[in-house]
A and B are shown apart, each in its own frame.
Chain A
């Protein structure tokens, strides 16, 4: 049985990771909540097997990204979920509408990418090195570089000039 206290501490320290991944892989609020909880559950299930062989965040990214893939299939087969108030998932200060607009734009651009690209770009945006991204995703370091260049080109062509200006503000 995993150590519940330790698990709770790890989740609370890294809840932002789970939130960002759920937001990238799901557009719909209910789907986001469902994925969010599924990620927490899968982390709990595999907590015992985490043997400090990597950083805790690396392990969390791997489980969370993998859970998001399996959620692609399950999206419409929801069971009951713990009622998390919108306030938990609305983790931005609601008064900051400019930031909210930038965040929405950011997520929209990333969601438009393919499933493969989403995982890679998310890790890149999280500040992971090519080596770390390769370690989490299983792609080679060279492959990560090539794919990231393609993703950047794709995002440049996706984002309209006024949206790009908005992101740079």
Chain B
């Protein structure tokens, strides 16, 4: 195998392809890509969450029961805090210290940060179900309709929401379990 690799390497040496212009345009293009992060889906979703949180808070005077007020506060807090934390953890995972650390340290940092992000995203899913429940009365109030919401609405909203949420959560759990397993295996392998 080493022989084959040596032959490969010597073939590559004969075929220099990069030009000066191409090398420098790579660095400029990547730099522009970093700046374009502001248009990434997570940032747009965060902006939307903030708008919804603002909508909930601006209508605070309409929540005339403790339950409604508490639901509104929970929903607003979730819509502000969770996206910000999510973005921070994603950026933290992406901003590994490539230049200052060894391969082993970068791998360790990557696995630990990935594990943290996955734990957070699992929590996000569970709290998301709570948001699903509290959002309905809050939104009904914002739209100027009377609460309490008739029981018939809850009879279809909760089961339907629960089924959709369970299907979503199951898929999410499987994905997280797989990725978390990879991160744990990586950490175990590094410690051998």
A113–chain B nearest beta-carbon distance, Å: 11
A115–chain B nearest beta-carbon distance, Å: 7
Q: Is the CB of A16 within 8 A of B13?
A: yes
Q: Is the CB of A8 within 8 A of B24?
A: yes
With a cutoff of 8 Å between Cβ atoms, the chain A residues found around residue B12 in the complex are: 15-16, 19-20, 91-92
Complex: chain B residue closest to A96, CB-CB: B11
| A window 147-166: CB within 8 A of B | 147, 155
Q: How far is the CA of A72 from the CA of B182 in the complex (A)?
A: 12
> A4-19 toward B: CB 8 Å interface, digit per residue (1/0)?
1001100110011001
A48–chain B nearest beta-carbon distance, Å: 10
Q: Is the CB of B1 within 8 A of A106?
A: yes
Number of interface residues of B (CB under 8 A): 49
Q: How far is the CA of A136 from the CA of B103 in the complex (A)?
A: 7
Q: Is the CB of B5 within 8 A of A125?
A: yes
Q: Is the CB of B29 within 8 A of A37?
A: yes
Q: How far is the CA of A96 from the CA of B84 in the complex (A)?
A: 53
Which of B11, B12, B27, B114 has the largest count of A CB atoms less than 10 A from its CB?
Answer: B27
With a cutoff of 8 Å between Cβ atoms, the chain B residues found around residue A124 in the complex are: 2
Residue of B8, B23, B94, B192 touching A70 (CB-CB under 8 A): B94
Q: Is the CB of B9 within 8 A of A20?
A: yes
Residue of B5, B17, B30, B105 touching A37 (CB-CB under 8 A): B30
Q: How far is the CA of A85 from the CA of B31 in the complex (A)?
A: 21
Whether, in the assembled complex, A27 has its beta carbon less than 8 Å from a beta carbon of chain B, the answer is: no
| Given contact pairs A106-B4, A116-B189, A84 touches B22 in the complex (Cβ within 8 A) | yes
With a cutoff of 8 Å between Cβ atoms, the chain A residues found around residue B102 in the complex are: 62, 136-138
| Given contact pairs A73-B94, A87-B17, A155-B1, A139 touches B23 in the complex (Cβ within 8 A) | no
Q: How far is the CA of A127 from the CA of B5 in the complex (A)?
A: 10
With a cutoff of 8 Å between Cβ atoms, the chain A residues found around residue B11 in the complex are: 91-93, 99
Q: Is the CB of B98 within 8 A of A46?
A: yes
Q: Is the CB of B40 within 8 A of A77?
A: yes
Whether, in the assembled complex, A131 has its beta carbon less than 8 Å from a beta carbon of chain B, the answer is: no
Can you name 21 A-B residue pairings with CB atoms under 8 Å?
A: A15-B16, A15-B18, A16-B9, A16-B12, A20-B8, A41-B30, A45-B99, A46-B99, A63-B98, A69-B110, A70-B110, A72-B110, A82-B22, A91-B11, A93-B11, A99-B7, A136-B103, A137-B102, A138-B104, A139-B103, A168-B3
Residue positions of B touching A, CB distance < 8 A: 1-9, 11-13, 15-18, 20, 22-27, 29-33, 36, 40, 93-94, 96, 98-99, 101-107, 110, 114, 185-186, 189-190, 192
